[in-house]
Amino acid sequence: MGRLALAVSAALTLTAVCTAVPATAEPRGGPTPLGIANCTANACHFDVLPGTYDVRLVLGGDTASSTAVTGETRRALLPETAVPAGERVTRGFTVDVRTPEGEPTGAEGTAGLDLTFAGTAPALAVIRVTPARHAHRLLLIGDSTVCDQPGDPYAGWGQELPQFLREGVAVANHADSGESTVTYLGNPLLWATVQARVRPGDPVLIQLAHNDKTTDEVTYRANLETLVAGVREKGGRPVLVTPIVRRWFNADGTLDNGTALLVNGLGVDHPAVIRSVAADRDVPLIDLTARSKALVESLGVEGSKALYLYNEKRDNTHTSVHGATVYAELVRDELVTRHLVPKGMVRVG
């Protein structure tokens, strides 16, 4: 996992100002407190078992600072936070630690919890990691537009979503690149693993469509209904999410075509089927297709390039970090509107 360099002042803050705050839990194999002693100048490693953990930080130093936190496989956990010189602010987030730490069919990653500090002038004064006893949890099922992408310039909206949630809500992102409803249900590393993790009351967001290119409508609908029923069987709360649009413009500046709106070669209108299943099965719906369409069309042909990897890869399907962050904000808004996450547990602005 990459390490971002910090300013010299941040390193001085860590060595001269920081004090360890004892944690209430012990890491695997030892009683060392889970605090600043687990950190270097630009990163922290906590040798904890898979689970859900609260992370509480005190940011700031003698000079003005600005700190952002990422963790595990490039997950955005805390947005860049500015602190005036000589002041301190407390922030927190809740993180899902699992193996593999990113995509379920990808590399295992590093055992335990890894955090990296970035921003224009990072300064960490105190950190404490404790098991999350009563955290809410969002589980995500999806494809490459949702998953924890392992490398730049790619990013999924599920990877950027945690930074918009406060301490007390964790995102367990089980999205995986290249998956359709058929392959997700058929791979024990995917659906069977997610279903086993669902607890009563957990919202489970389901966005699968981009790779159902050869799935007929009857099968696609049945697969969505299987996922919905399986979540409910465990006491979870299924939430159907229509896919983000592809950036594929008509000459008139609209996205009113099958490529952009995820209609496959068999004529299956994926968003329409998802909306229908949501209505028939009384499932909450996040219409990310409609919201992303409106946004991309409003930005226009040139302005919308930054949301995707057009400039880097001539890719009109996969999103940049910026685009994934923008789409994660749309999901954040829908989570609040549909009462899937308490309003007080989201970050706004």
Write out pLDDT tens, residues 206-241.
999 999 999 999 999 999 999 999 999 999 999 999
Work out the pLDDT band at 157, boundaries 50, 70, 90.
very high
Predicted confidence (pLDDT) per residue in 13-57, tens digit: 333 233 233 333 444 444 455 999 999 989 999 999 999 999 999
pLDDT at 33: 58
H-run or E-run covering 126: strand 124-131
pLDDT at 27: 46
Read off the pTM: 0.90
Q: Are strands 51-59 and 65-71 parallel, antiparallel or unpaired?
A: unpaired
For the chain, the average pLDDT equals 91
Is the confidence at residue 85, as pLDDT, over 80? yes
The two tokens of residue 287 are 């219409």
Is the confidence at residue 143, as pLDDT, over 50? yes
Predicted confidence (pLDDT) per residue in 176-214, tens digit: 999 999 999 999 999 999 999 999 999 999 999 999 999
Predicted confidence (pLDDT) per residue in 64-79, tens digit: 999 999 999 999 999 9
Is the confidence at residue 170, as pLDDT, over 80? yes
Is the confidence at residue 82, as pLDDT, over 90? yes
232: nearest Cα among 209, 208, 201, 194: 201
> Phi, psi (5° rounding) for residue 338?
-95, 10
137: nearest Cα among 283, 235, 217: 235
CA 269, 270, 274, 277 dihedral sign is: positive
Is the confidence at residue 12, as pLDDT, over 90? no
Q: Report the alpha-carbon distance of residue 109 to residue 47 in Å, rounded.
A: 13
The two tokens of residue 230 are 């399986």
Q: Are strands 169-173 and 136-142 parallel, antiparallel or unpaired?
A: parallel
Is the confidence at residue 306, as pLDDT, over 50? yes
